[in-house]
Structures are given as structure tokens and as C-alpha cells.
């Protein structure tokens, strides 16, 4: 008599877990697993760096190459300042998308300061490899862009946008929209556009106000800075008010 095959347990059934029907489970995994690691590592709040993956430290021919060194220096200063602010966990931990360019520079600066840093990579057809400066147990790999973007901003007390392309613009405008619509409480998140000359050339915010597509009040959501020293001074002054508040900003969603 034939021995009946033992069916796989549902949560170990690879064919099912990769199916369309199991998509809600995969989405839930990309929500719950990072949350578990954040709790285990006692990450209260973060400082998010976004910017081009194509800006390299050795790209002397690029007009934007200086931003790599400046992102590293700013992250170094912020991490060194934030390291002692941990009586109830880690606060203002440097967080990036985990890849090369500006992301690598920020993780590198945090590592140079002796601090932990987060890297939230995304699986792509042309693989974006995690950079070497992301801390152990704080490197993530997402399949779903929307889950990655949720975790990039959900614990951010500050967002720093360095020059970048489509991906940076996507993260920039989505975060500005969340703050404008108060899905993220605007008084609890600092938004800095780093590289004023670049950003004023790329986005004419005054034209948006002139044509009534945004209000003059919306221009107060963000501030410009163009040197690590000025950016650090501004961010420290703004973030110091959160030093006694242990936890992420209010995220309405």
C-alpha cells in the first residue's frame, strides 16, 4: 500500500508563500520583521538621509561629487552628538536606503563616529548591493517599495534630502506630502534640503506658490543648508527639543 505524502505545513510551503494569494502575508512580514528588530535594538528615532546612489567619492568629473564627503561629515557629526542620548534606547540613529552614493556616505559617517546605522535596501532587477557600513542586524532588504518607504520615514525625527534623481525626488515629495497633509505631525519632524543651489534649480517652489498649487505656509515645512557645519547647527538646535521624548513621531496611519 502506498504511503501517503505528508503535506507541507502552510507557513513552510514555499510555493504558496510565493503565490499571489500569499501577498498579504509577505506584506505583513515586511511590516512585522523590521518592527521586531527595531524593538530588539532599542531604536527610538532616526535621522533619514536620502540622495543619489550615483554620487561617488572618486567621481571627480561629477559636479556633485563633493556631496559624498559632506554627507559623510554631517552624518558623523550627528551620530557623534546623538550617541550619548540613549538612557532609554538609541535616538537619532542614522538611517539610509542602504545602497551606494549618498546612502553609503551617511552610513560611513555614522560608523566613523562609532554609532549604529540603518540600511533599508530594496530588491531590484539590477541588484542594489548593501553598502559595507550598515550595522549588523540593522540591514534590511525589502521587496515592496511602499513598505520600505514606510519604514524609512516612520521613526524619522529629521529627513535630510541631498541631491538626487528620480528615487530621491520620489522620497522627497512623498515625505513632504505626508507632512503637508499632517499624516506625519509637521511640528515633530525636521526637513532639510541640503545643497540649496541644486534644489532651487531643480524645483521652483516659488512658482508652485505663485500658481496656487501649494500655499506660502508650505514653504515653512523645509529649510535649506549647504555646509555640514550649518546643517548640523540647525538640526541640533531643532532636534534638542525631542531629547526627552523617547519614541518616534506621531504617524497618522
Give the per-residue pLDDT at 244. Answer: 60
> What mean pLDDT is predicted for residues 104-120?
97
For the ranges 10-19, 67-76, 147-156, 229-238, the lowest mean pLDDT is seen at 10-19
Q: Where are the domains of the chain?
A: 44-242
> Cα-flanking dihedrals φ and ψ of residue 68, to 5°?
-60, -55
> What mean pLDDT is predicted for residues 133-142?
95
> What mean pLDDT is predicted for residues 38-43?
94
Give the per-residue pLDDT at 125. Answer: 75
CATH number of 44-242: 3.40.50.450
pLDDT at 250 over 70: no
Q: How confident is the model at residue 85 (pLDDT cuts 50, 70, 90)?
A: confident
Q: Which of 56, 44, 73 is nearest to 245 (CA)?
A: 44
Give the per-residue pLDDT at 53. Answer: 92
- C-beta of residue 68 within 8 angstroms of C-beta of residue 105: yes
Alpha helices (runs of H) in the chain, residue ranges in sequence order: 14-17, 23-40, 66-82, 102-112, 145-154, 166-180, 196-202, 205-210, 228-239
pLDDT at 49 over 80: yes
- The C-alpha atoms of residue 140 and residue 5 are separated, in whole angstroms, by 36
- The C-alpha atoms of residue 145 and residue 121 are separated, in whole angstroms, by 10
CA distances from 212 to 182, 205, 216, 220 (A): 19, 11, 9, 16
Give 23's strand partners: none
pLDDT at 252 over 80: no
DSSP letters, 68-110, are HHHHHHHHHHHHHHHTT--TTSB-SEEEE-SSSTHHHHHHHHH
Q: How confident is the model at residue 185 (pLDDT cuts 50, 70, 90)?
A: confident
- C-beta of residue 222 within 8 angstroms of C-beta of residue 189: no
Q: Give tens-digit pLDDT for 222-233.
A: 999 999 999 999
> Cα-flanking dihedrals φ and ψ of residue 58, to 5°?
-105, 10
Give the per-residue pLDDT at 166. Answer: 95
Give the per-residue pLDDT at 247. Answer: 57
Q: How confident is the model at residue 86 (pLDDT cuts 50, 70, 90)?
A: low
Q: Whole-prediction pTM value?
A: 0.91
Give 121's strand partners: 141
CB-count exposure of residue 8 (10 Å: 0-12, 13-18, 19+): exposed
- Dihedral (C-alpha) 56, 59, 60, 65: value to the nearest 10 degrees? -30
Give the per-residue pLDDT at 253. Answer: 54
> Cα-flanking dihedrals φ and ψ of residue 93, to 5°?
-75, 135
Q: How confident is the model at residue 71 (pLDDT cuts 50, 70, 90)?
A: very high
Tell me the pLDDT of the chain averaged across its residues.
91
Amino acid at each position: 500500500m502506498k504511503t501517503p505524502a505528508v503535506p507541507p505545513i502552510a507557513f513552510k510551503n514555499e510555493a504558496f508563500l510565493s503565490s499571489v494569494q500569499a501577498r498579504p502575508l509577505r506584506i505583513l512580514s515586511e511590516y512585522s520583521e523590521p518592527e521586531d528588530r527595531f524593538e530588539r535594538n532599542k531604536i527610538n528615532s532616526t535621522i533619514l538621509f536620502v540622495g543619489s546612489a550615483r554620487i561617488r567619492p572618486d567621481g571627480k568629473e561629477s559636479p556633485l561629487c563633493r556631496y559624498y564627503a559632506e554627507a559623510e561629515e554631517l552624518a558623523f557629526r550627528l551620530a557623534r552628538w546623538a550617541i550619548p542620548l540613549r538612557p532609554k534606547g538609541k535616538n537619532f540613529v542614522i538611517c539610509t536606503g542602504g545602497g551606494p552614493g549618498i546612502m553609503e556616505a551617511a552610513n560611513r559617517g555614522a560608523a566613523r563616529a562609532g554609532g549604529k546605522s540603518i540600511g533599508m535596501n530594496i530588491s531590484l532587477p539590477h541588484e542594489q548591493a548593501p553598502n559595507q557600513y550598515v550595522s549588523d542586524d540593522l540591514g534590511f532588504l525589502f521587496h515592496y517599495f511602499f513598505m520600505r518607504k514606510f519604514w524609512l520615514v516612520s521613526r524619522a525625527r529629521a529627513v535630510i534630502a541631498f541631491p538626487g534623481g528620480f528615487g530621491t525626488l520620489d522620497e522627497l515629495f512623498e515625505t513632504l506630502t505626508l507632512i503637508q497633509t499632517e499624516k506625519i505631525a509637521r511640528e515633530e519632524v525636521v526637513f532639510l534640503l541640503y545643497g540649496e543651489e541644486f534644489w532651487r534649480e531643480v524645483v521652483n517652489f516659488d512658482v508652485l506658490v505663485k500658481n496656487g498649487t501649494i500655499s506660502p505656509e508650505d514653504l515653512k515645512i523645509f529649510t535649506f543648508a549647504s555646509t555640514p557645519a550649518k546643517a548640523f547647527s540647525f538640526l541640533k538646535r531643532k532636534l534638542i527639543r525631542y531629547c526627552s521624548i523617547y519614541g518616534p513621531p506621531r504617524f497618522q496611519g
